[in-house]
Amino acid sequence: ILNVEQSPQSLHVQEGDSTNFTCSFPSSNFYALHWYRWETAKSPEALFVMTLNGDEKKKGRISATLNTKEGYSYLYIKGSQPEDSATYLCASLQGGRRALTFGSGTRLQVQP
């Protein structure tokens, strides 16, 4: 079983703060890295799918970077809002395994 690690496990920030989380994954046989947002009482929704080393993706105030050589990805949220409160999951797809391996997630709570 592949090891996909996320840190921190949970995070409390104030509205307006910027924050970032880390996802680490095996750098060998890398194929793709996914980020999902999972709000309470809803289904997980995809934020980004990244495949190339150095990839940077952005959606509104949320952005992500990818370093496949060292096996990590960062997710950044600029000016956090209460509606950003959710669990953020990353998942890695490695060659030879035709399914994602998920990390345990970072739970973000944004206080108004």
Partner 1 sequence: DGGITQSPKYLFRKEGQNVTLSCEQNLNHDAMYWYRQDPGQGLRLIYYSQIVNDFQKGDIAEGYSVSREKKESFPLTVTSAQKNPTAFYLCASSDAYNEQFFGPGTRLTVL
Residues near partner 1 (CB under 8 A) are: 1, 4, 6, 31-32, 34, 36, 42-46, 49, 89, 91, 93, 98-105
| Apex 21 CA angle, 17 and 23, nearest 5 | 170
- Per DSSP, 100 falls in state -
Beta bridge partners, 49, equal 34
> How far is it, in rounded angstroms, from Cα 42 to Cα 20?
22
- Per DSSP, 9 falls in state S
Specify the residue, 74 or 102, whose C-beta has the smaller distance to partner 1: 102
Cβ at position 105, least distance to partner 1 in Å:
6
Length of the chain as a residue count: 112
Cβ at position 25, least distance to partner 1 in Å:
13
Specify the residue, 84 or 107, whose C-beta has the smaller distance to partner 1: 107
Specify the residue, 2 or 17, whose C-beta has the smaller distance to partner 1: 2
